[in-house]
Amino acid sequence: MNRINWGNKEVLVCGGAGFVGSHLATELVRLGAKVTVVDNLSSGSVQNILAIRDDIQFEDKDLRDYRVCRKLVNGKDCVFQLAANMGGIGYITAIGADIMRDSAVININMIDVARVHETPMYFYSSSACVYPDYLQKKTAVRPLREADAVPADPDQFYGWEKLFTEKLCEAYMQDYKMNIRMARFHNIFGPCYTAFDSLKGKAPAHMIIKAIKHPDPPYLIWGDGKQTRSFLYIDDCVQAILRLMDTDHKQAINIGSDRLISMKALADMAVKLSGKKGVKFQYDLSKPTGVRGRNADLTVMKEVLKWEPQVSLEIGMTMTYNWAVSHYDELEGL
């Protein structure tokens, strides 16, 4: 595959102090791009970009302001739009209006200013949450294909906004001939300060922290532990994004893993990494768990990107666990 030469390209990473955004910005810097990161730090953290702070231009700005967006996008060769009001299952099940309003305003602003400035390349980060609830009722779920998103019935407001923005991107490509790529992320995980946030973090980070802290408090699993998901390590996610940018594929594409695992098995993996013995799990059926099962069909991804994930779940969890142990004092209280 002929890769884009990112050397000296002017790149804007929106939400670049967040989890995926900070890793993407780091890789773009390594590839020689001139990177501007914009983040209002509602979900992101400057800790995530400290290692590259001298190599980027950081803007603490609010992308709900159209004028801010217009200034930031001016002169950019590529915009990666990852900014959103988002979080883990506990957050997106509790918050609806703010998530939809904030993220919709950001996405409308960003795509329109990219149109105004005729930005050559644009990336939108969607989510597996766009997929309909009626296809995710079983733990042994059929892997979700891109075409399964319609007829639509996401189980959360977060997913509805993501699907709306995918259609917004399609409309802008049709009417204004914009060059846009879209990825539906399936549970990305890995080392990151905000990934371990108690409210907005995701399952692998929560499982790891619980294993490190056990036995005080006891190890609590949300739901019955049988609900299933697939997880993709962050380094693979970044490589998939960059490969996608170097294709002509204009439809939303799954970026994830197709290895299905239960939350109980994921917790077992975290506990095994901790070396602790005799851990007894407790289950809280009152906690939100989202859909019963979700997995990614990677047929299109493998065909379009000529690539597949390289980091196994065990290796990814090991690297994330080791990072969490070495940064534990900084993670406490998040």
What pLDDT was estimated at residue 332?
66
Instruction: Tell me the DSSP string of 205-256.
Output: HHHHHHHHHTTSS--EEETTS--EE--EEHHHHHHHHHHHHTS---S-EEES
What pLDDT was estimated at residue 90?
87
CB 59 within 8 A of CB 38: yes
**Residue 333 — very low, low, confident or very high, per pLDDT cuts 50/70/90?**
low
So what's the architecture of 10-191+230-258+295-311 in CATH? 3-Layer(aba) Sandwich (3.40)
What pLDDT was estimated at residue 259?
98
Chain position carrying tokens 């597996």:
128
Quick check: is 158 catalytic?
yes
CA distance 227 to 153: 19
Write the pLDDT tens digit of every residue in 204-223.
999 999 999 999 999 999 99
Chain position carrying tokens 């239960």:
262
What pLDDT was estimated at residue 88?
84
pLDDT for residue 334 is more than 70: no
The pLDDT mean for the chain works out to: 95
Among 91, 131, 158, 193, which one carries the catalytic annotation? 158
- Which tops the pLDDT comparison, 330 or 126? 126
**Residue 1 — very low, low, confident or very high, per pLDDT cuts 50/70/90?**
low
Write the pLDDT tens digit of every residue in 143-186.
999 999 999 999 999 999 999 999 999 999 999 999 999 999 99
Interaxial angle between packed helices 97-116 and 66-73, expressed in degrees from 0 to 180 and rounded to the nearest 10: 40
CB 63 within 8 A of CB 107: no
CA distance 153 to 163: 10
Residue 183, token pair as written in the block: 């990825």
pTM for this model (two decimals) = 0.96
Rounded to an integer, the average pLDDT of 76-97 is 93
**Residue 87 — very low, low, confident or very high, per pLDDT cuts 50/70/90?**
confident
* Residue 269: closest CA among 328, 225, 237, 238: 225
